[in-house]
């Protein structure tokens, strides 16, 4: 029963993530003045801002406004700067827990040189690099000078906001209750986007609970010599990854979302049993190995400049080693099936 309740809650949370910005969205700066899409995204990319939803008097969502996250007189200060502490090619360890969330162990360094440890959900589907939803945890940190992820140090972290912080609290409560030995006494306090590591090749190996980092100029783009390697160019919208797919006879785009355990398809576009799931022009061969959810999400994504027909979650990605090549906007899927 608990599993059913949690799955339903996950679906509700996913609906809430559906508000996306596109080139046609109504957007405002921090003073409430309308700005264009390029200016909005450029400011978001600095890591100094988050976005808050705008609603009309009837409570209907109409757009987004920029909100400053951190004020500092030194404009040359670099926020969310990943500093190399290990030889690239070594491993950042993952922890896969209940319903296949990816958790990364993080140490937060306070201004007094003290450390607090916690977990962050690794989420390629989030626009903001770092989000801390636990206000009590955030207050206990005070000014945070850096965070450490295994051998990596991220200086001057800027934490964005999340529209439904109760979602992370719910996961933390459930996991703490049901699998406390895996959390090792550390809370889940927020989300981490992959774009913190976009200067590197990032390989995600869910089945072996590892993330690998390599130099962005490394000639070997994939992680290893797997049975099959699918290479596909992706679209980058709001620091999210969208890849061309064909499901049965329907063509469109799919969102790569490691923050979501399941994979759904747009039921208004794909109505029959899924017999074929192609990435680009390549057959994945796993249509009969995972369970797809069929959801009606067309209203949430209607303003996207392309047709979204699926959201690829961890139950799909665990059949591959997935490498994100941000420099060339390429994605590599290496099959782990024998």
> CA dihedral defined by 158, 159, 163, 164, rounded to 10 degrees?
170
Q: Where in the chain is the domain with CATH 2.40.70.10?
A: 226-335
Q: What residues are paired with 188 via a beta bridge?
A: 119
What's the topology of domain 226-335?
Answer: Cathepsin D, subunit A; domain 1 (2.40.70)
Rounded Cα distance, 141 and 145, in Å:
10
3-state SS, the chain, equals CHHHHHHHHHHHHHHHCCCCCCCCCEEECCCCCECCHHHHHHHHHCCCEEEEEEECCCCCEEEEEEEECCCCCCCCCCCCEEECCCCCCCEEECEEEHHHEEEEEEEEEECCCCEEEEEEEECCCCCCCEEECCHHHHHHHCCEEEEEECCEEEECCCCECCCCCHHHHHHHHHHHHHCHHHHCCCCEEEEECHHHHCCEEEEEECCCCEEEEEECCCCCCCCCCCCCEEEEECEEECCEEEEEEEECCEEEEEEECCCCCCEEEECCCCCCCCCCEEECCEECCCCCCCCEEEECCCCCCCCCCCCEEEEECHHHHCCEEEEEECCCCEEEEEECCC
Q: What residues are paired with 81 via a beta bridge?
A: 155
pLDDT at 252: 95
pLDDT at 23: 66
pLDDT at 117: 93
Residues 272-289 as b/e (b if ≥16 CB within 10 A, e otherwise) read: eebeebbbeeeebeebee
pTM of the model: 0.80
pLDDT in tens, the chain (338 residues): 444 434 434 433 443 333 456 667 788 888 888 988 778 877 776 667 777 778 888 777 788 888 876 654 444 567 777 776 667 677 787 787 767 889 999 999 877 777 899 999 999 988 778 888 888 888 888 778 888 887 788 888 878 766 677 888 888 998 899 889 989 999 999 999 888 888 889 999 998 888 888 888 888 888 887 767 899 999 987 678 999 999 999 999 999 999 988 999 999 999 889 999 999 989 998 988 998 999 998 877 777 788 999 999 999 999 999 999 999 999 999 998 75
pLDDT at 96: 79
Q: Left, alpha or beta for 227 (phi > 0: left; psi -120 to 50: alpha)?
A: alpha
Separation of CA 284 from chain center: 22
């Amino acid at each position: 029963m608990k599993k059913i309740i949690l799955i339903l809650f996950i679906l509700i949370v996913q609906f809430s993530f559906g508000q996306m910005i596109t080139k046609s969205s109504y957007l405002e700066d921090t003073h409430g003045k309308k700005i264009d899409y390029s200016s909005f995204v450029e400011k978001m990319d600095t890591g100094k801002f988050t976005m808050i939803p705008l609603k009309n008097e009837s409570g209907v969502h109409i757009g987004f406004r920029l909100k400053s996250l951190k004020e500092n007189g030194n404009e040359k200060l670099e926020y969310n700067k990943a500093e190399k502490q290990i030889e690239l090619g070594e491993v950042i360890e993952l922890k896969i827990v209940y319903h296949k969330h990816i958790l990364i162990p993080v140490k937060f360094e306070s201004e007094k040189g003290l450390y607090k440890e916690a977990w962050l959900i690794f989420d390629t589907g989030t626009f903001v690099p770092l989000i801390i939803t636990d206000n009590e945890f955030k207050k206990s940190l005070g000014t945070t000078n850096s965070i450490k992820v295994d051998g990596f140090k991220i200086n001057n972290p800027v934490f964005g906001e999340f529209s439904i912080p109760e979602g992370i609290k719910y996961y933390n409560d459930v996991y703490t209750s049901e699998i406390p030995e895996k959390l090792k006494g550390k809370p889940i306090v927020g989300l981490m986007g992959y774009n913190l590591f976009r200067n590197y090749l990032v390989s995600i190996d869910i089945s072996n609970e590892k993330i690998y980092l390599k130099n962005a100029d490394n000639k070997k783009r994939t992680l290893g010599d797997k049975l099959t390697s699918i290479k596909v160019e992706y679209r980058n919208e709001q620091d999210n990854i969208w890849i061309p797919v064909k499901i049965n006879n329907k063509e469109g785009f799919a969102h790569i979302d490691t923050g979501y355990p399941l994979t759904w398809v747009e039921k208004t576009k794909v109505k029959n049993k899924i017999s074929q799931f192609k990435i680009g022009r390549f057959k994945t061969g796993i249509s009969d190995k995972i369970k797809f959810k069929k959801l009606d999400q067309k209203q949430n994504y209607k303003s996207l400049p392309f047709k979204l027909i699926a959201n690829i979650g961890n139950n799909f990605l665990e059949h591959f080693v997935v490498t994100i090549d941000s420099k060339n906007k390429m994605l590599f899927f290496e099959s782990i099936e024998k």
